[in-house]
């Protein structure tokens, strides 16, 4: 696969997707992951109730507030936040294990989480903000997903402006008009970021061997 099968040893990166709820980041994340063997999803811990079709350990680790606070107080999260009245957190262990293997970690987290990860791991972080084509389309997508009751849809729409106001804190911004086009754009960003010289940690040895010591 172009750009996805690098031969040079490289340092894994932390690829963060944020957006207002319903803009499409989970859908795009799924599509990226199914075609990329070098990227692993960071499965978050949450206190939100499970939606139909979601499974424990794949979409989220669903826990009680008591368990969430125990993990938080035990420093098991790389970042955590309260989003729409529920707690969400990124377990540190999977992230560190994956990066150590030279693979990338994909995060589907909000702006609060993105800011926290930037603070602790700025060099490894690449942040992409996904915008919807319009407010009307955002609401349409939230309803089309048909997984949340009306009051939840309203609550998420009410918070959309607050989330979108953080767009300028991101490295890249994609307006998600068309899924296939957005997926291609995301993949282009990923491939270019993987090729950054500082991430290709095996390059120096290869070049040294080619040009010799003199």
Ligand X SMILES: Nc1ncnc2c1ncn2[C@@H]1O[C@H](COP(=O)(O)OP(=O)(O)OP(=O)(O)O)[C@@H](O)[C@H]1O
Ligand Y SMILES: Nc1nc2c(ncn2[C@@H]2O[C@H](COP(=O)(O)O)[C@@H](O)[C@H]2O)c(=O)[nH]1
> Binding-site residues for ATP, please?
19-26
- Which residue, 150 or 213, is less far from ligand Y as judged by CB? 150
Region of 7-15, 23-31, 49-57, 60-68 interacting with ligand X (CB under 6 A): 23-31
Site for ligand X in 168-207 (CB under 6 A): 176, 178-179, 182
Specify the 3-state DSSP secondary structure of 166.
Answer: coil
Strand partners, 45: 61, 89
Residues marked as binding? 19-26
Phi-psi region at 103: left, alpha or beta (left = phi > 0; alpha = psi -120 to 50): beta
Q: What is the rounded end-to-end Cα distance, in angstroms, of the chain?
A: 36
- Select the residue interacting with ligand X from 145, 155, 159, 166 (CB under 6 A): 145
Q: By the 8 A CB rule, do 116 and 88 touch?
A: no
The closest alpha carbon to 94, from 61, 50, 55, belongs to: 61
Site for ligand Y in 59-118 (CB under 6 A): 79, 81, 83, 88-90, 108-110, 112-113
- Which residue, 146 or 210, is less far from ligand X as judged by CB? 146
- Select the residue interacting with ligand X from 14, 16, 24, 90 (CB under 6 A): 24
Q: 179-194 and 25-34 helices cross at what angle (nearest 10)? A: 60
Over the Cα atoms of the chain, what is R_g? 18
Binding site residues, ligand Y, CB under 6 A: 21, 44, 48, 79, 81, 83, 88-90, 108-110, 112-113
Binding site residues, ligand X, CB under 6 A: 19, 21-27, 141, 144-145, 176, 178-179, 182
């Amino acid at each position: 696969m172009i750009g996805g099968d690098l031969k040079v040893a490289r340092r894994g990166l932390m690829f963060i997707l944020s957006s207002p709820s319903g803009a499409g980041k989970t859908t795009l994340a799924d599509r990226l992951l199914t075609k990329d063997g070098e990227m692993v999803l960071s499965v978050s811990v949450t206190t939100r109730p499970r939606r139909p079709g979601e499974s424990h350990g794949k979409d989220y680790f669903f826990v009680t507030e008591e368990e969430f606070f125990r993990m938080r107080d035990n420093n098991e999260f790389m970042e955590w936040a309260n989003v729409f009245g529920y707690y969400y957190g990124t377990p540190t262990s999977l992230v560190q294990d994956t990066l150590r293997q030279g693979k990338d970690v994909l995060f589907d987290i909000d702006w609060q989480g993105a800011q926290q990860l930037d603070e602790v791991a700025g060099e490894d972080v690449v942040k992409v903000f996904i915008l919807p084509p319009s407010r009307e389309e955002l609401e349409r997508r939230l309803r089309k997903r048909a997984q949340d009751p009306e009051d939840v849809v309203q609550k998420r729409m009410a918070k959309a402006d607050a989330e979108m106001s953080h767009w300028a804190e991101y490295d890249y911004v994609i307006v998600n008009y068309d899924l296939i086009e957005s997926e291609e754009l995301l993949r282009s960003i990923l491939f270019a970021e993987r090729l950054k010289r500082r991430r290709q940690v095996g390059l120096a040895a290869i070049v040294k061997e080619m040009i010799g010591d003199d």
